[in-house]
Structure 1
Amino acid sequence: MVLLVVDTQKLLVNDQLYNFNAFTKNIENLISAARKNNMEVVYVVHDNGKGSSLTKGEEGFEVYEDFKPLEQEKIFTKEVNSSFRGTGLLEYLKDKNEKEIIVVGLQTDKCIDATVKCGFEHGFHMIVPAYANSTIDNEYLSGENSYKYHNEFMWNERYAECISLDEVIKKIKNHNTIES
């Protein structure tokens, strides 16, 4: 089991996100629990390419300060919504014989949606902790409605196991017991 932290970059992590305070607190708690229980934390960052504020070398590209990866933690870079396409992440996880992925980050209706569905298609058991992904309002849905649609309707029992933060932290602690 790994904790996959997707697109939690400075440009994207801001108070326009639905349920911002719970979102940031929950991710901090999950990263902390994973590290305390010797579970690998893997990061994926999005690069929009030259001329964008979301490209390598720009301040907005860097991981949000409260979620910063440790030196030994892996970071994969993507250029599309799915964390698995062309990043090396899929091969890395398959080589490690990983079966379960806890996925958190941004944005619910874009990269998290693609990552959950693609992870499922690649045979992973995807676990989505409550209020550990978020998005902003768009012209069709509020951030809240988009979050609820994906987490409560679209993914749960189809593509992922969408469960409470406490249940995920229990899984993390049990993982440490099983691995030891």
Structure 2
Amino acid sequence: MILLVIDVQKLIMTDDLYDFARFENTVGKLICAARESGTEVIYVRHDDGEGEELTKGKAGFEIYDGFKPQPSEKIFTKTVNSCFKESGLLEYLREKQVKEVAIAGLMTDYCIDATVKCGFEHGFSIIVPKHANTTTDNEYMTGKQTYEYYNGFIWQGRYAHCISPEETIGEDETLKKSALGN
């Protein structure tokens, strides 16, 4: 299994995100636990392109200080919602024969959703730890409603196993194996 941390960039890591403090705490714990267990942590950043604020060379493009990658950790860059399209990530995971991908990051209704579904379509067993993704309010739903809709209805049992962070990081191997169908 690898832990894939998506779009946790300075520009968009703000208090406007639904349940920001819980999200920040959960992702931080997942990263620490993954490192302690020897699970590879991989980061993906989004680049909106030249002239935009979320682009290489701008301060907001960089990964949030609270989740800063270690020098040995891989960072991929994408220009579309799915982390698997034209970023090199898919090829890297296939080369390493990765079977399970735990996904954390931003935004629930954009890049997390696209990555969960595309990862599933590419044959990965997808794990979405609870409270490890979030988003902002939009004109149709609050951030909370969006989070609950995707995590509780769209992904669970269709595209992913939405389980607790404790199950994800293996604090309870019995529950983790049960949740993953092993």
The TM tier, using the shorter chain, reads: over 0.9
Supply the distance in 2 between the matched residues of 1:21 and 1:172 (Cα, whole angstroms): 24
Supply the distance in 1 between the matched residues of 2:172 and 2:158 (Cα, whole angstroms): 22
Q: Residue type of the partner of 1:120?
A: F
* Post-superposition CA distance 1:75-97 (Å, at most 9, x none): 00000000000000000000000
| 1:172, distance to aligned residue in structure 2 (A) | 9.3
Runs of 4+ in 1 over 2 A off after TM superposition: 171-175
Matched, 1:21 2:45: no
**SS in structure 2 at match of 1:137:** coil
User: Residues 126 and 159 of structure 2 are in contact (CA less than 8 Å); yes or no, is this contact kept in structure 1?
Assistant: yes
The total of aligned residue pairs comes to 175
**SS in structure 2 at match of 1:170:** coil
The sequence identity of aligned pairs, in percent, is 56
Supply the distance in 1 between the matched residues of 2:171 and 2:72 (Cα, whole angstroms): 23
Q: Residue type of the partner of 1:139?
A: E
Q: What's the counterpart of residue 61 of structure 2?
A: 61
Supply the distance in 1 between the matched residues of 2:53 and 2:86 (Cα, whole angstroms): 21
Supply the distance in 2 between the matched residues of 1:165 and 1:78 (Cα, whole angstroms): 26
Supply the distance in 2 between the matched residues of 1:171 and 1:4 (Cα, whole angstroms): 19
Q: Residue type of the partner of 2:31?
A: I
**SS in structure 1 at match of 2:170:** helix
Matched, 1:106 2:106: yes
| 1:171, distance to aligned residue in structure 2 (A) | 6.5
**SS in structure 1 at match of 2:5:** strand
| 1:170, distance to aligned residue in structure 2 (A) | 1.4
Q: What's the counterpart of residue 94 of structure 1?
A: 94
Higher relative contact order (CA 8 A, sep 6+): 1
Please give the root-mean-square deviation of Cα atoms over the aligned residues, in Å: 1.5
Structure 2: state its 5+ residue gaps.
178-182
Q: What's the counterpart of residue 142 of structure 1?
A: 142
Q: Residue type of the partner of 2:42?
A: V
User: Residues 166 and 172 of structure 2 are in contact (CA less than 8 Å); yes or no, is this contact kept in structure 1?
Assistant: no
Superposed, 1:1-180 pairs within 5 Å as 1-170=1-170
User: Please, what TM-score do these two structures have when normalized by structure 2?
Assistant: 0.93
Supply the distance in 1 between the matched residues of 2:140 and 2:36 (Cα, whole angstroms): 40
Q: Residue type of the partner of 1:157?
A: G
User: Please, what TM-score do these two structures have when normalized by structure 1?
Assistant: 0.95
